[in-house]
Structure 1
Amino acid sequence: MPGGIALYLLLAITAFSIVALALFHSHLKLKISYKRIENNDIITLAASAFFGIIKYKAELPFLDFVKKMDNFAVRFRLRLKSGKEIQDEIRFKRIESLDELLSSLDDMMSYYRLNKKAIKYLAKKAQIRDFCVYSAFGFDDAYITGVMYGILYTVIVNFLAFIKAHIDLYIKAIDLKPVFNKEVFHIMLNCIIDIKIGHIITALRMFIKTSRGSEIDGTTYSRTYENNYGKY
């Protein structure tokens, strides 16, 4: 009988280890698609996880998406080895003025400096695949259209070069089409963000330890962060 119990225990531990390993190595994939034709904006989000077992897809007008994000909050709870429990909430808020934008950028830089290690870890582990931009735009003045084409192309190329220096970025296509002597603006943007669940869990622990002060490694941090996107 004791041998049978030991066998069942060994099988249970083995099964748990396999599940934990599979969870760590499973991927979270987020496909983002944005499309603007004339005055209609549509954003599509499709997420899949755990080898495609869990799937979610939503398609919303962009303004509706912004409104939903304005009321979106993430709550988390963490119990430390000492028995102390940490609870917090990240709430997103829409920016409605230049002052709020500048304040938010300043707070985001402060947050980046505070959590630089965790953010760099996430960026190193994430991939952006099948990135493509298709756009047709134009103005009544052909000269302005030509100038804007050059400026826009330069900005996009340099921005993507900056992103590629920090994240694995695979560009599928960049297609900008100037339309002369006609006022028009169409754009379509697609990409897939891919990251392992295990890396997200590791980064989340790093965020919590840095921003709240964790007894997990015997160090103490007590700085809080608050901006227009929420409170940490």
Structure 2
Amino acid sequence: MKWLLLIMGILILVLLLLIFTKVRVYIDFKRVQKNDLIHIKLSAWYGLFHYTFKVPVIKMDDDSAAIVVKQEQGMKEEEKKEEMKKITPEDLRDEFADMKEILHHVVGFHRTVRHFTGKVQVKKFTWHSMVGAKNAAHTGMLTGVCWALKGSIIGLLTTYFNFRIMPSYSITPDFHRWQANTTISCILQFRIGQAMVTGIKLLRYWKGGKANFKSRKLAKLSGDSNKQSF
């Protein structure tokens, strides 16, 4: 009996520790000429636990309309796995269809997700870009459009997320050549318990029975075994 109480006490302690654990998400995106880099790192317990996801190569497939990405993921350098993956227009279509399916089945989806994002703290947000159209007049117009678009996007983000700092962003015009380079760097922080509560709410307010998912990742939940991954 004492051993049972001890095990239950340890499990409760671990659960409480997990619920109150803060997770930091480091996101870096760079677009320089035709080279793209996406780097995502998850960190908890002051770096004791960390997981990285890196997509260093994004290019178009010569034989199809698919996007080819080379991604690396793992907890340690020696354990990182590298794989090539194709993202086809059909994959994107299925992803949008799945999102529509979730919105259809979950009551108050927007309210639930917004409640969670409101608790996600943004510790850092920088977004700097350089654009050019070779022609001075066209470059000026393009710069103005980019300023308006970027301002609208950041305004939307500050509405949904809890910004702890002022976002830093800029657009530098290049009047001598075609150019569309950008770098985004941000740090997000939230508690695992908050994410767990959001997941429970989404399941709780699910309606309408089983969803008909289309993407390979979620098709198994619909009992569709015909979806195969590369």
Could you tell me the TM-score, scaled by structure 2's length? 0.69
1:136 aligns with 2:130: yes
1:111 aligns with 2:102: yes
Q: How does 1:137-216 map to 2 (within 5 A)?
A: 137-169=131-163, 170-211=165-206
Q: Percent identity?
A: 20
CA RMSD of aligned residues (A): 3.2
Whether contact under 8 Å (1:129, 1:171) holds in the other structure is: no
1:37 maps to what in 2?
32
The alpha-carbon deviation at position 206 of structure 1 amounts to: 2.2
Amino acid at match of 2:202: F
1:224 maps to what in 2?
211
2:62 maps to what in 1?
none
1:54 aligns with 2:45: no
**Structure 2, unaligned runs of 5 or more:** 60-66, 72-85, 222-230
Whether contact under 8 Å (1:28, 1:47) holds in the other structure is: yes
d(CA) in 2 for partners of 1:11, 1:187: 54
Q: How many residues align?
A: 195
SS at match of 1:63: strand
More helix by share: 1
SS at match of 1:125: coil
**Structure 1, unaligned runs of 5 or more:** 70-92, 214-220
Amino acid at match of 1:181: H
d(CA) in 1 for partners of 2:102, 2:7: 42
Q: Decide whether aligned partners of structure 1 residues 103 and 14 sit closer, same or farther in structure 2, where only a CA change above 3 A counts.
A: closer
The alpha-carbon deviation at position 118 of structure 1 amounts to: 3.4
d(CA) in 1 for partners of 2:117, 2:104: 15
Superposed CA deviations along residues 159-210 of structure 1, whole A, max 9, x for unmatched, are 1111221221344310210111322232111111221111111122222333
Larger radius of gyration between Structure 1 and Structure 2 = 1
